[in-house]
Amino acid sequence: MSGESTQVRDREATSGRILAAARTLFAEHGYERVTVRMIASEAGANVALINRYFESKARLFAHVLVGESAMRSVIEGDPEGLPRRLAAHMAHRLSAGASDPIVRVIDRAGTSPEIRAVLRDRVESALTEPLRRHLPGPNARERAMLATSIILGGGSLRRVLGPESLREADPGFLEERLTAIFTACLAGPADGARTPAP
């Protein structure tokens, strides 16, 4: 029994190291430029173990994306405060050069057909769907998609202009402007937003 539990603990520890290494490498280099051999080297594991535990690089990528995202705690809470929470989170990321690792991994994933479905599922489950559930009224999915595009766009801005692009900006200024943007995106008809004609 003791040998079996040690084996389980060893497997969990190795899996954890592999996932951590993959998350770091995918975020830094993008999915297409990372090899299983690179992940194995970073994790101190061998390629055969990665294949045994995760089957393929695409499946490993899917496991990385299932990991915790800071967005979950930002989205949860009272719906009225959601635009400000999203804005504060994004303002911090933009001004501090910080990034939610999962958003960075998604941003650097590239266009490989192998992972397009994985990406779509993760964006839906981690961002769009949780946002939609917090939005009363019609067009909730469309409003959630608008907010999602802004969140993911921050990662593209950092990638193109560099992490220091807004480092000198006043975080309070960024938060106020982003709050207005998220408020407009997420507002329903009762909040003064117009519902598109059918």
The CATH number of the domain holding residue 6 is 1.10.10.60
Residue range of the domain that includes 16: 2-60
Say what the pLDDT of residue 193 is.
Answer: 46
Number of domains in the chain: 2
3's tokens: 């040998």
Q: How confident is the model at residue 197, as a pLDDT? A: 41
CB 138, CB 188: distance < 8 Å: yes
Looking at residue 198, its pLDDT comes to 37
Q: Is residue 64 within 8 Å of 22, Cβ to Cβ?
A: yes
**176 and 116, same structural domain?**
yes
198 lies in some domain: no
Please report, as a single letter, which amino acid is at residue 27.
A
Model confidence pLDDT, tens digit, residues 44-96:
999 999 999 998 898 898 888 876 567 788 998 888 999 999 999 888 877 76
Q: How confident is the model at residue 36 (pLDDT cuts 50, 70, 90)?
A: very high
Q: Does residue 85 sit in the same domain as residue 157?
A: yes
With a cut of 60, say whether residue 192 has pLDDT above it.
Answer: no
In a domain, 195, yes or no: no
The answer to whether the CB of 187 falls within 8 A of the CB of 139 is no
